[in-house]
Amino acid sequence: MKPTDFRRRLRAGEQLIGTMVTLPTAATAEILADAGFDWLFVDAEHGPLDSGDLLGILQAVGDRVPCIVRVPQCDEGWIKRVLDLGAQGVIVPQTNTPELVADVVRYARYAPVGSRGVGLARAHGYG
């Protein structure tokens, strides 16, 4: 499913079925991507996943299923890194105030709306 289809389906209120990925193995995510889920919830908050694990998972899944990554905390570096690795979105824990929500949105969006920059990463097609 294309990221734009995922967003459209979410906004339409369509029921989308997903599962959590907590194991740091790309093969597990690859199997789940072929199992018929609409999306994958990749847990970098409670799971043992680091940036290298996330990259492997996102590469193994590719464009077959949108991956949303839960980052460990509301942190600009984590949010930007996960999106640059190719995640279609982030889940940020403990965003309990309007100010924190505004921070998350700013970190995730490109300038001039946000503070995210462009680099040579997966999300940018390496250029």
Options 2, 46, 109, 124, the catalytic residue: 46
Q: What are phi and psi of 6, to 5 degrees?
A: -60, -50
> Quick check: helix, strand or coil at residue 85?
helix
Peptide bond into 66 cis (omega under 30): no
Q: How far is CA 103 from CA 69, 74, 77, in A?
A: 17, 8, 12
Q: State yes or no: is 124 an active-site residue.
A: no
Q: Per the structure block, which two tokens stand in for 5?
A: 């289809």
Catalytic residues: 46
